């Protein structure tokens, strides 16, 4: 009977946050994730001896972890977390209040009652740091210093480390000694990360692969004009063509793994799954035997949508006497873990995922073949959206896999030994996102960054090959080139352009320009004035406007009149994404209001998304003072119908509700029938679902709140 080989590849990556000029770390995320994901995601496998996986490690991340483990990392975030609260200056207090709430409100902050209490204070006074500091007092600030760190500790330490458990149990009123303990524990945990990977790799439990050293988009380094193949007509910057840099980025990563991890990596996840024929040839020449990317790239290579049969097998690329084994991630399965299961019960999510694996495998088994199921995704950023850092989900999933005799969780190299590979003579140039490079090139901010990078690279080439270059010290020459390699990393352009948002966007922008400026300084040149000006522009965040009058729309699913929703409240989601890139948003805008006796809700969808509406369910949850009611509406091409209601109050009569969906979704709910007082605040949230799986919610955190019967305040 054909077998199923399940391949997990966890990609562990953070940008290079260290400013080489000052030696200081500009952002804390490598350290924070080391406390939890980089250690815990590997250490959890000690509980599941049948589960073998591949961990893809970015060397520039490991270099940072090494410095934290050795106590050599100068990190202002950690320094201020450990400084006695009584000694903080006003500027330091403002820094803490700005940055120490950067965590998922529901899963990370909300897990600790005192952290949640401080967070609510912060929300109420965020525009007035001095007032907030006075409200918190010294004790509140110290509690924030401790809890902002403790909240990132892995479940293993929360469950088994007596000192950490005591800190959690204490809950509040922390002391300077507690701050010092946090500092010691953080260094200890960072020191466990690399040895844990080495131990598991030496035991054959995991395979270690690497990404080019500073995480560049390799095809664009080789030739930025190649973007036009997958983005025809996109405006591109001047051509950047330095394949020698791409080779150095790969070679230095392989050498780091040999020296620091004690392994000879067979494989590589190229940054963001970015591949091209030139990249595969360079990697093969360095001894890389396998690479991975997305099945969207496979589809573009095959000139058709890559189905289950195509995705669930390995391939071999051959050109010019060189060859490379390839696997292509199952985009749908990987995204279920990345973006969907965090909203579900852990056990239900694990069972659902395993059934999808079996379903895919059956389709391949019917062809008489063993099935390769490639699940490849970010190994750190998803877990802060899960209950208890995703450990209940992972433990249930790993246990289920271990008990199934038809499924083996193996490393990539093991899978490639067991399954025959189909041949492909070429590869489509693209990344895991839309099989193109539009996240990193083609938009104004991205193109500006590439122009600045090219100018610095040309300056380096010109100076080092001219007579004046002979006067440069070897240290300055090396520093200039290292700064270039860092600036070639993909993370800077990840935050440029319209696709993604971070509270640290300004810091990323500053870091990129600082790295480029340091190239010029190391070469004895004055950095161009352009590097003093931000590239990133202010982006549009979620926007909300309260109702300003009563409304009486016709519930017909059409925009019957411009005036029927005039006066309604409006909520527009922030459609930008964060560190993880997910599916396109389906919800464009919500409108809401009342006529004093009925609640009206309208949802405008992104109709341009192909297949976006198929099988969609819209859930409207309404919180009144006495009850919470959830309405489930099925949206079809023919319209909308109410499929179920749950959680209504004590009345026996069914709530009175009507709905329609054609160009827009509209519904009306009788307030009295859900025991809602028109004079009392009402809360609502809309979520979109498909096949019982959550897609998105508006708002994503919290509720839209308004009083349906207060026309006096609207006049």
Cross-strand pairs, 697: 687
What digits encode the pLDDT tens for the residues 136-182?
999 999 999 999 999 999 999 999 999 999 999 999 999 999 999 99
Tell whether the model's pLDDT for residue 579 goes beyond 50. no
Tell whether the model's pLDDT for residue 667 goes beyond 60. yes
Q: How big is the CA angle at 410 (ends 404 and 411), to the nearest 5 degrees?
A: 165
The DSSP output letter for 74 is: B
Tell whether the model's pLDDT for residue 413 goes beyond 90. yes
What digits encode the pLDDT tens for the residues 78-129?
999 999 999 999 999 999 999 999 999 999 999 999 999 999 999 998 778 8
Count CB atoms within 10 A of the CB of residue 138. 13
Which 3 state secondary structure label does DSSP give 261? helix
**545: burial class by Cβ within 10 Å (0-12, 13-18, 19+)?**
exposed
What digits encode the pLDDT tens for the residues 354-368?
999 999 999 999 999
Tell whether the model's pLDDT for residue 375 goes beyond 90. yes
Please give the residue that has the higher pLDDT: either 526 or 58. Answer: 58
Q: How far apart are CA 262 and CA 396, in angstroms?
A: 32
Q: How far apart are CA 301 and CA 424, in angstroms?
A: 8
Cross-strand pairs, 56: 11, 209
What digits encode the pLDDT tens for the residues 195-230?
999 999 999 999 999 999 999 999 999 999 999 999
Residue length, the chain?
A: 715
Tell whether the model's pLDDT for residue 529 goes beyond 90. no
Q: Which of 95-104, 184-193, 474-483, 558-567 has the lowest mean pLDDT?
A: 558-567
* Sequence-distant (≥ 6) Cβ neighbours of residue 652 within 8 angstroms: none
Confidence of residue 559 (pLDDT cuts 50, 70, 90): confident
Q: How far apart are CA 14 and CA 119, in angstroms?
A: 26
What digits encode the pLDDT tens for the residues 418-434?
999 999 999 999 999 99
Calculated CA dihedral for residues 586, 123, 37, 402, nearest 10 degrees: -60
Mean pLDDT of 459-484: 94
Sheet holding 598-605, edge to edge: 543-545, 569-572, 587-594, 598-605, 665-670, 657-661
Confidence of residue 694 (pLDDT cuts 50, 70, 90): low
Instruction: Please tell me the predicted confidence (pLDDT) of residue 692.
Output: 60
176-202 vs 59-69: helix crossing angle, rounded to 10? 130
Strands 682-690 and 693-698, by their bridges, are antiparallel
Q: How far apart are CA 290 and CA 190, in angstroms?
A: 30
Instruction: Please tell me the predicted confidence (pLDDT) of residue 207.
Output: 98
Please give the residue that has the higher pLDDT: either 710 or 146. Answer: 146
Q: What does the domain layout of the chain look like in residue ranges?
A: 1-70+192-231+241-434, 444-532, 543-714
CATH code, residues 444-532: 1.20.1430
> What class has domain 543-714?
mainly beta
What digits encode the pLDDT tens for the residues 311-337?
999 999 999 999 999 999 999 999 999
Tell whether the model's pLDDT for residue 652 goes beyond 60. no
pLDDT winner (highest mean) among 180-189, 469-478, 635-644, 686-695: 180-189
User: Structurally, what CATH architecture does the domain formed by 1-70+192-231+241-434 represent?
Assistant: Alpha-Beta Barrel (3.20)
Confidence of residue 627 (pLDDT cuts 50, 70, 90): confident
Q: Which of 157-171, 268-282, 445-459, 695-709 has the lowest mean pLDDT?
A: 695-709
């Amino acid at each position: 009977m054909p077998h199923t080989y399940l391949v997990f590849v966890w990609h562990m990556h953070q940008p290079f946050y260290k400013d080489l000029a000052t030696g200081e770390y500009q952002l804390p995320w490598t350290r924070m994730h080391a406390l939890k994901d980089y250690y815990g995601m590997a250490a959890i496998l000690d509980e599941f001896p049948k589960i073998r996986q591949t961990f893809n490690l970015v060397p520039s991340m490991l270099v940072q972890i090494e410095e934290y483990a050795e106590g050599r990392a100068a990190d202002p975030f950690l320094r201020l977390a450990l400084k006695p609260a009584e000694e903080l200056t006003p500027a330091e207090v403002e820094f803490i209040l700005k940055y120490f709430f950067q965590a998922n409100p529901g899963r990370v902050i909300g897990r600790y009652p005192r952290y949640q209490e401080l967070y609510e204070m912060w929300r109420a006074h965020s525009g007035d740091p001095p007032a907030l500091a006075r409200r918190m007092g010294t004790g509140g600030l110290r509690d924030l210093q401790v809890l902002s760190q403790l909240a990132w500790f892995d479940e293993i330490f929360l469950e088994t480390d007596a000192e950490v458990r005591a800190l959690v149990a204490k809950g509040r009123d922390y002391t300077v000694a507690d701050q010092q303990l946090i500092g010691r524990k953080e260094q200890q945990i960072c020191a466990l990360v690399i040895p844990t990977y080495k131990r598991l790799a030496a035991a054959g439990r995991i395979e270690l692969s690497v990404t080019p050293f500073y995480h560049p988009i390799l095809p664009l380094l080789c030739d930025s004009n190649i973007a036009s193949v997958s983005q025809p007509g996109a405006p591109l910057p001047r051509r950047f063509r330095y394949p020698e840099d791409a080779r150095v980025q790969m070679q230095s990563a392989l050498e780091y793994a040999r020296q620091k991890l004690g392994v000879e990596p067979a494989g590589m996840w190229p940054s963001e799954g970015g591949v091209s024929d030139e990249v595969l040839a360079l990697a093969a020449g360095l001894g890389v035997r396998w690479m991975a990317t997305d099945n969207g790239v496979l589809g573009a290579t095959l000139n058709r949508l890559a189905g289950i049969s195509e995705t669930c097998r390995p391939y071999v690329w051959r050109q010019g006497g060189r060859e490379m084994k390839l696997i292509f991630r199952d985009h749908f399965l990987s995204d279920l873990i990345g973006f969907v299961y965090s909203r579900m019960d852990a056990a239900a999510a694990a069972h659902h995922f395993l059934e999808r694996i079996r379903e895919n495998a059956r389709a391949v088994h019917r062809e008489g073949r063993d099935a390769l199921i490639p699940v490849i995704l970010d190994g750190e950023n998803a877990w802060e959206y899960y209950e208890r850092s995703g450990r209940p989900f992972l433990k249930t999933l790993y246990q289920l896999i271990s008990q199934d005799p038809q499924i083996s969780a193996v490393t990539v190299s093991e899978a490639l030994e067991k399954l025959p590979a189909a041949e492909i003579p070429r590869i489509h140039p693209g990344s895991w996102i839309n099989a193109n490079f539009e996240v990193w090139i083609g938009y104004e901010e991205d193109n500006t960054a590439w122009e600045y990078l090219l100018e610095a690279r040309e300056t380096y080439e010109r100076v080092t090959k001219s007579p004046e270059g002979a006067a440069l010290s070897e240290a300055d020459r090396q520093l200039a080139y290292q700064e270039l390699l860092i600036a070639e990393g993909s993370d800077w352009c990840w935050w440029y352009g319209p696709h993604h948002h971070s509270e640290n966007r300004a810091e990323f922008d500053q870091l990129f320009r600082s790295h480029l400026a340091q190239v010029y300084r190391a070469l004895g040149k004055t950095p161009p004035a352009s590097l003093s000006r931000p590239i990133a522009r202010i982006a549009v965040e979620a926007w909300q406007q309260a109702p300003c009058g009563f409304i009486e729309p016709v519930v017909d699913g059409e925009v019957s009149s411009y005036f029927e929703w005039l006066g309604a409240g409006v909520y527009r989601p922030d459609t930008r994404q964060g560190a993880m890139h997910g599916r396109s948003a389906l919800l464009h805008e919500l409108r809401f209001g009342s006529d004093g006796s009925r609640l009206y809700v309208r949802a405008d969808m992104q109709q341009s998304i192909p297949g976006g509406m198929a099988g969609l369910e819209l859930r409207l949850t309404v919180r009144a003072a006495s009850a919470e009611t959830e309405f489930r509406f099925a949206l079809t091409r023919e319209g909308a119908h109410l499929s179920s209601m749950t959680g209504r109050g004590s009345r026996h009569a069914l709530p009175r509700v009507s709905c329609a969906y054609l160009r827009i979704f509209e519904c009306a709910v009788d307030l009295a029938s859900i025991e809602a007082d028109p004079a009392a605040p009402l809360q609502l949230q809309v979520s979109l679902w498909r096949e019982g799986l959550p897609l998105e919610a508006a708002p994503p955190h919290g509720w839209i709140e308004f009083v349906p019967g207060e026309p006096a305040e609207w006049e």
